[in-house]
Amino acid sequence: MFIFNVILSFHVIAGFLALLSFWVPIVVKKGSTLHNRVGWVFTTSMGVVSVTAIYMGIFRIFFDSNIDHSTIAFSWFLLFIGILSASTAWYGIRVLRFKRKADRHLNGFDLFLPFLLIMSGLSISIYGYVIDFPLLTFFSFAWHLFGRFSGLLLAFNT
């Protein structure tokens, strides 16, 4: 449980850093040194948040012996949010990486994330319906739709 608590600490610190750094690129001049550096701080923080969320969700669901039903439901939600955070951070990096390229640059990973969002959103939504947990049912379904649309946009706008 010590490792879980250390990872939880990293998760909280990175989440707090992401919340703070999110606002700076919005209010400073686009393309400035401050905008770029703080934007990378945000993206890196979101990467840490997503990896730690996925780890904690998997650990709680499959390896924690002291778990109850509400913790399992929250852990599935945390796992889904980790996937969502990873995909949004990846989209941000992808946009910056390819903004000056005119040729097609779609690869399998670009389609894998929307597919993963679609499948995880749909699965968590069904799970939420089965256990009568409205947050899981409706929030996940909304992001399931986001996964569909983002996948279509990537497929047709590259």
pLDDT by residue (tens digit) across 16-31?
Answer: 999 999 888 888 888 8
Which pLDDT belongs to residue 154? 56
Rounded Cα–Cα distance for residues 128 and 79 (Å): 14
| % residues pLDDT > 90 (the chain) | 28
Lowest mean pLDDT among 43-47, 76-80, 114-118, 151-155: 151-155
H runs (alpha helix) in 23-158: 24-27, 33-62, 69-98, 108-130, 134, 140-156
pLDDT tens by residue, 78-111? 998 898 888 888 877 877 777 766 666 667 777 7
Which pLDDT belongs to residue 123? 86
Rounded Cα–Cα distance for residues 64 and 80 (Å): 18
157, pLDDT greater than 60: no
pTM value? 0.79
Of 144, 151, 150, residue with least CA distance to 121? 144
Rounded Cα–Cα distance for residues 144 and 64 (Å): 28
Dihedrals φ, ψ of 42, to 5°? -60, -50
Q: Exposed e or buried b for every residue in 31-41, given b needs 16+ CB within 10 A?
A: eeeebeebbeb
pLDDT tens by residue, 120-143? 888 888 888 899 888 887 876 676
Which pLDDT belongs to residue 106? 67
55, pLDDT greater than 90: yes
Of 15, 5, 155, residue with least CA distance to 81? 15
Which pLDDT belongs to residue 3? 93
| % residues pLDDT > 70 (the chain) | 83
Which pLDDT belongs to residue 5? 94
Task: Give pairs for 103-106: CB < 8 Å, separation 24+.
Answer: 104/158, 105/158, 106/154, 106/155, 106/158
Residues in the chain: 158
Mean pLDDT of 27-55: 91
